Amino acid sequence: MPALAVIVVLFGGALAGAAKTSLVPLTNSGLGHPTLATWRALVHDPALWEAVRFSVRIAVLATALSAVVALTLALVLRRRGTTLRTLVALPVPVPHLLVAVVAVLWLAPGGLADRIFGALPFDLVRDRAGVGIVLVYVYKEAPFLVLLLLAAMGRGLADREEATAVLGASPWQRVRWVIWPAVRGPLVVGSIVVAAFAMGAFDVPLAVGPNSPLTVAEYAQQATANDVLAGEGLQAAALLVTAGVSMLLAMIAVRFAKDVQGG
Amino acid sequence: MLAALAAGLVLAGCGSDATSTTSPKAGSAGAGAWASTLKAAQGQTVRFWMYGGDDKVNAYIDGDVRPALARFGVRLQRVPIGDTADAVKRVVAERRAGKTSGGGVDLIWINGENFATGKQAGLWLRDWSTSLPNFQRFVNPRDPSIASDFKVPVDGQEAPWWRAAFVYAYDSAKVSDPPRDFDALLVWAKAHPGRFTYPAPPDYTGSSFVRQIVAANGADAAFAYLKALKPYMYRKGNVLPKSQAELEQLFGDGQVDFAMAYDANIVNADVRKGLFPKSTRPLVIGAGALVNVSFVTIPANAAHAAAAKVAANVLLDPRLQARKADPAVLGNPTVLDQARLGSSRRAFARALASPYLLRDLGTPVTELAAAAVAPLERRWTREVLR
């Protein structure tokens, strides 16, 4: 209960503050009357919807790829020693921005790779499809999900798997009926964390992303670049849109997990 | 020996100018008001919020301005920020919270657009800058670049201190005959595909490049020009640097043949850093450089407004302005009126002696209205980038 109270105060308070900023403009004589003008400007800006599409595509791709890579790695690693597990977990404590900066240093136009190998035949940094952003997230988040999955694949799971094998279950049936139910929960929870992060963070898109389209977080960051007063409301509203989309993605993920399980 | 003696005399002359700032030549009422400002400022700490990404500017503020302020009993705390908007956001947040005095920002190095926004919302202290003693003695209030900021009348709400000119850099060892106007630049780009680029607006430098062409040719012609230029740019114009620093890196690595900055000292500074080759030279493209003066402003709710005024006055001290103009220090042209400087004019002579600084910036191109900048950047994204 106290934990819930902390979340309500911190998260709810921040949301309420952002909502107020998006609705109440600052005028020459102090705070003005509540108005929907900022929201109207936001929803009629085609750049916002382009940013929402781009952000959702990045978040969904990065999360799905991370989950598949993590599940594959976890299935391989669960029977291996701690050295290999530690190696795979290494990227977890590395800050996202550091990975992005190293990627820029190596892969950006004019970067080290360009200079060593001549012009690269493909663009990963600044490419319009956002492949570079997705790859940075997969590199960072797949090991994080592996840690969650390995924790769920404890000793008990191996025993149950052995029992079903004795009863004649095929390897696919063992994955379907024994492993998947055990890892489904941590995988979905972890994926929600990854998707929400990929939706909201602006440092990686800023470092490796294209000039256009922007993610919603970059859109919000740029909103105050030219006009702090008008941009402030727009920024708050855009970030509320990000929060809304993240919650929507989380609900879809939970629903998906239930469907896969069969209700 | 004689030269050293002359330099000493110049400095001594400037020194007397600097100390005379305590007793302005304005009427005795003005002198009395300034004396009470000085008295109120005693013991105060002025928190100066300014872009902190330039080591040389930081060193100038810490090494030259801070000791000069200490003589008036004012301490200086430099608050480094990544973007001027951060300081304005703080002032806006205080305004939203109803904090009308005791604010955490005393002085801001402000840009035109943020000044315009804040002025409209009544965020700045009014009618103070024109009564600063150094402003009255050494600044030409009728200079259009000082009377208005991005076409917004200053109205005594900010004091000038920095003069910016938009210049280009090229390597004279590689490019023997650089283009001198924009038509020639397009011809050059067609002959050398992939060797020219500019940072993508809304980056300030990239936005300034677009504004210079708009100011020279009008918006429609400028966008037609930029679209014509795009296919001949670095990576066919599909990938642009996100910042001036990225462009400087590309130029330094020899990937492109031109760099640009809203800083007349860029070549001098980057050659000294070792980023640009020694054969790099500055250049103006077009009839004249895009120019503007940047200012310091005081929020209306500043806790230490008196100390902030003293700091703004010290920034206009001829001795400090001469140090700032020295190519070995910052190489930034003075905002003071040469005709009003008298004997201290000689202290500015060194600024003209460097191959890395332009003697002639052409017919200055003045900035567009602050309100026109954001729509221009959006149009660029729509019509040129996509």
- Is A97 exposed, middle or buried (CB count within 10 Å of its CB: 0-12, 13-18, 19+)? middle
Record the tokens describing residue A198, joined without a space: 């990929």
CA A44 to chain centre: 26
* pLDDT at position B20: 42
Q: From CA A11, how far away is CA B255, in angstroms rounded? A: 47
pTM above the 0.90 mark? no
Q: Residue B152 — φ and ψ, nearest 5°? A: -100, 120
Model pLDDT, residue A122: 74
Mutate to test the interface with B, among A203, A224, A226 (most CBs of B within 10 A): A226
Residue A34 touches partner B, C-beta closer than 8 Å: no
Of A123, A226, A229, the CB nearest to B92: A229
Q: Which one of A123, A226, A229 has the shortest CB-CB distance to B374?
A: A226
ipTM: 0.76
Q: What is the pLDDT of residue A111?
A: 76
Q: Tell me: pLDDT of A250 over 90.
A: no
A23 close to A38: Cβ distance less than 8 angstroms: yes
Give the pLDDT confidence score for residue B61 in this predicted structure. 97
pLDDT mean over A64-78: 92
Alpha-carbon gap: A166 to the closest alpha carbon of chain B (Å) = 59
* Strand pairing report for B148-149 and B158-165: unpaired
Q: Which residue has the higher pLDDT, B43 or A221?
A: B43
Compute the distance between CA of residue B146 and CA of residue B149 in angstroms, rounded to an integer: 7
For B161-204, give the DSSP string: EEEEE-EEEEETTT-SS---SHHHHHHHHHHSTTS---PPTTSH
Q: What is the DSSP letter of B64?
A: I
* pLDDT tens digit at each of 386 positions of chain B: 334 333 333 333 344 444 444 444 445 567 789 999 999 999 999 999 999 988 889 999 999 999 999 999 999 999 999 888 899 999 998 998 889 999 999 999 999 989 998 998 899 999 999 999 999 999 999 988 899 999 899 999 999 999 999 999 999 999 999 999 999 999 999 999 999 999 999 888 999 999 999 998 999 999 999 999 999 999 899 889 988 888 998 899 888 999 999 998 999 989 988 999 999 999 999 999 999 999 999 999 999 999 999 999 999 999 999 999 888 888 898 999 988 988 878 777 765 667 888 888 888 888 888 889 889 998 999 899 88
Euclidean distance between CA atoms A262 and A249, whole angstroms: 20
pLDDT of residue B198: 97
Query: Measured between alpha carbons, how far is A183 from A186 in angstroms, rounded to an integer?
Result: 6
| Cβ pairs A/B, distance under 8 A | 67
| Dihedral sign computed on CA atoms, order B236, B241, B245, B249 | negative
From CA A217, how far away is CA A238, in angstroms rounded? 8
- Is B89–A232 a contact, with Cβ atoms under 8 angstroms apart? yes
Tokens of B120: 């409209």
Asked whether the predicted pLDDT for residue A173 surpasses 60, the reply is yes
Nearest CA in chain B to A118: B255
Q: Report the alpha-carbon distance of residue B200 to residue B333 in Å, rounded.
A: 27
Query: Among partner residues B202, B239, B253, which is closest to A123 by beta-carbon distance?
Result: B239
Per-residue pLDDT at B31:
79
Q: Give the pLDDT of residue B6.
A: 39
- Rounded to whole angstroms, how far apart are CA atoms B192 and A195? 44
Cβ–Cβ contacts within 10 Å for residue A21, how many?
22
Q: Are B278 and B174 in contact (CB under 8 A)?
A: no
Q: Do A228 and B114 touch (CB under 8 A)?
A: yes
Q: Which residues of A touch B378 (CB under 8 A)?
A: 47
Nearest to A211 among B96, B118, B385 (CB): B385
Torsion of CA B310, B316, B319, B320, to 10 degrees: 80
Are A104 and A207 in contact, with CB atoms under 8 Å apart? yes
Q: What average pLDDT is seen over chain A?
A: 86
pLDDT at B126: 96
CB contact under 8 A, B121 and A26: yes
Residue-level pLDDT at B302: 97
**What pLDDT does B29 receive?**
64
pLDDT of A119: 66
Give the residue from chain B lying closest to A213, CA to CA.
B386
Residue B332 per-residue DSSP state? P
Closest residue in chain B to residue A205, using alpha carbons only: B242
Q: Are A238 and A219 in contact (CB under 8 A)?
A: yes
Instruction: From chain B, pick out residues whose CB is under 8 angstroms from the CB of A27.
Output: 121
Per the CB < 8 Å rule, is A27 touching B121? Answer: yes
pLDDT confidence tier of residue A259, bands split at 50, 70 and 90? low
A206 pLDDT above the threshold of 60: yes
CA–CA distance, A260 with A250 (Å, rounded to integer): 15
The conformation of residue B82, written as its DSSP 8-state character, comes to S
Strands B107-110 and B45-51: parallel
